[in-house]
Amino acid sequence: MRLARGLAAALMLLASARAAAISIELRDDRGVAVTLDAPARRIVALAPHLAEIAYAAGAGDRLVGVSNFSDFPPEAKRLPVVFDWGRVDYERVIALRPDVVLAWRSGTPALQVERLERLGMKVVVTEVRHFADVAALERTVGRIAGTGASAEAAARDFEKRLAALRAEYAARPALSVFLEIWHAPMITINGEHVFSEAIEVCGGRNVFARARTATPLVSREQLLGARPEVVIMGSAAERDAWRGLDAVPAVRAGHVYAVRANDLHRPGPRLLEGARELCLALDRARG
């Protein structure tokens, strides 16, 4: 009898040890501790770049729901949309039974994150402020999904290509740059934004780096005062909107260039491709 009891106790301890070994503990970008009992088999991503990062980390087959505009890779377009124009479709999320929800701190309203948590969801809130955060987030998603090897390979590849781009443009002559996120009203980014780091990598200087808000509105007077040598837009279709602004040095010199918004304006794996396009644009201005 004692032997049987001892064996049962040993088996319980072994089961507990295995469960502890499988469980995943992490702290998200709010500083909130999130614990998963096992690698996530069902993941919801509430931003296009989070879906891209999940695929890059080898967890694309775990995605069961995405946000609107999730169009890369093409497989993401076939998934149910659960976040549309800043609103979570709670009923659809509940129906999908996710093990974890990936949220974007700058793009997912805090009240909606809190409601998801009240509904019993495990929510990991993320924020990409620097290029290094992209690789870190790939590794985090790899931990969440149990795809660590694939995620590590993706993260190292990103870091390697970033280092090469930095080295290539480290000695380029500096240029002052205005990065247009939206034209009417005119919106740009400050120096705390990852897109501003892309400008720096290419040897540029963000003319609104010292703005107080991450995505400040810019008046015509402020733009004229900043005197950028280069303007970067998200679409070539916006070029006509700059006609008549010859008082801006970039416009007067014809240094108004388009870089694909989906590459440069999404803080995910393709950010490096957008940064390279940006670097080439600055080289055209230098040349």
The average confidence (pLDDT) of the chain is 91
Q: Distance between CA atoms of 274 and 145, rounded to whole angstroms? A: 27
Q: Distance between CA atoms of 263 and 83, rounded to whole angstroms? A: 21
pLDDT tens figures, 226-265: 999 999 998 877 777 888 889 999 999 999 999 988 888 8
pLDDT of residue 223: 94
Q: Distance between CA atoms of 264 and 271, rounded to whole angstroms? A: 5
Task: Please check the confidence at residue 17 and state whether its pLDDT lies above 80.
Answer: no
pLDDT tens figures, 48-81: 999 999 999 999 999 999 999 999 999 999 999 9
pLDDT band at 5 (very low <50, low <70, confident <90, very high): low
Task: Please check the confidence at residue 12 and state whether its pLDDT lies above 70.
Answer: no
Q: Estimate to the nearest angstrom the gap between the alpha carbon of 287 and the chain centroid.
A: 32
Q: In which element (H, E) is residue 262 found?
A: helix 261-264
pLDDT of residue 18: 44
pLDDT of residue 3: 47
Whole-prediction pTM: 0.88
Domains of the chain: residue spans and CATH? 22-156 (3.40.50.1980), 171-286 (3.40.50.1980)
Mean pLDDT for 81-98 is: 96
Using alpha carbons, select from 107, 272, 65 the residue that is nearest to residue 54. 65
Helix (H, G, I), strand (E, B) or coil at 57: coil
Higher pLDDT, 262 or 172: 172
pLDDT tens figures, 257-270: 999 888 888 999 99
